[in-house]
A = this chain, B = another copy of it.
Amino acid sequence: MARLPVYLRALTLLIERGVATASSEDLAVAAGVNSAKLRKDLSYLGSYGTRGVGYDVEYLRYQIAREIGLTQDWPVAIVGLGNLGQALANYAGFGTRGFRVAALLDVDPDRIGRDFGGVVVRHLDELADLVDEHDISIGVVTTPGPVAQQVADRLVGSGVTSILNFAPAVITVPSGVDVRKVDLSIELQILAYHEQRKSMAGALHPGLDIDVVAQVVAP
C-alpha cells in the first residue's frame, strides 16, 4: 500500500489540470506504474471505477485520502534542528499534504528558542509534554547518527508510535512502533553502484550502444 500516496499525488495533479475522468492507463502513466498493478491496488479499496469509462478523479482522490487517513491533519515533531531539520521545519509542502509541524526539539542552546515557520525550538526534555499537549504520534529524527537511537527511545517513551528516521543509523523500536528510514548516502551509493557498472560495461564492450548496455545492466 506504499503506492497509495503516489496515486494520490497523480490524482491531485489531474484535478489541477481539470481532468474529470481517467482510465487506469491514464492514471498509471501519471503515477509511473503499470496499469494492471494500479487496477489491482484500487480494487482492494473497493470498486470505485466504471467499466467502459474509467475512474471519477475527484471521487477516487477522496477515497484514497480517506484510506490513508488524510481527512485529519497529523501533528508531527521534528527532533534535531541541523541543516536538514531546519529545511524540513521550513518546508511549506507539509501543510498541503495533511501534516503540521507541531513541535521542534533540540539540545543545542544556540538553537533552542529560535523560530522556524512560527514554531519555537524547545529542549528535548520537554518532548513528553509537547507530545501530550499536541497529541503527536509521528516523530521525525534529523539528528546525527550516534544519538538517533536515544532520541528514538525518548520518542517512543513519550508516546510516539511512528518514526521517520533521516539519521544515518539503524534504530530499533518495540513492536507496535513503525519506523521508516530515509538515507541520502545510501540512495547515492546505489546510484554510484549502477554508474560503476555502466562505465565498466562500456570498457568491456566498447562497440555496444550505451542504451543497450544500460538495459542489459539495469535490474
**Contacts of A158 on B, CB cut-off 8 Å?**
none
Residue in contact with A91 in the complex, picked from B90, B184, B189, B195, CB distance below 8 Å: B184
Instruction: Kindly state whether residue A114 has any CB partner on chain B within 8 Å.
Output: no
A62 contacts chain B at the CB level, 8 A cutoff: no
How far does the Cβ of A205 sit from chain B's closest Cβ, in whole Å?
14
Taking CB atoms and an 8 Å cut-off, the chain A residues in 48-80 that contact chain B are 67-70, 74, 76
- A174 and B32: CB pair below 8 A? no
Contact with A32, one of B1, B69, B172, B177 (Cβ below 8 angstroms): B172
Number of copies: 2
A198 within 8 A of partner (CB): yes
Q: Does A30 contact B (CB under 8 A)?
A: yes
List B contacts of A196 (CB < 8 A): 68-69
- The answer to the question of A37 belonging to the interface, with a C-beta cut-off of 8 Å to chain B, is no
Instruction: Determine the distance from Cα of A195 to Cα of B202 in the docked complex, in whole angstroms.
Output: 48
A134 interface contact, C-beta 8 A: no
Roughly how many angstroms separate A175 CA and B162 CA in the complex, as a whole number?
37
Besides the known contacts A9-B168, A68-B193, A138-B191, 19 further A-B residue pairs in the complex with CB atoms under 8 A apart: A4-B193, A5-B189, A8-B189, A9-B169, A67-B193, A69-B192, A69-B195, A74-B188, A74-B192, A83-B87, A83-B91, A84-B91, A88-B184, A93-B185, A98-B192, A99-B185, A175-B215, A176-B210, A176-B214
Complex Cα distance, B169 from A10, in Å, reads 9
Residues of A in contact (CB 8 Å), total: 67
B215 touching A176, Cβ below 8 Å? yes
Partner of A97, one of B99, B169, B172, B188: B188
Are B70 and A192 in contact, with the CB atoms below 8 A? yes
* C-alpha spacing A169/B93, complex, angstroms: 13
Partner of A191, one of B10, B180, B210, B214: B180
- Contact A68–B182 (Cβ < 8 Å): no
Let me know if A164 is at the binding interface, CB within 8 A.
Answer: yes
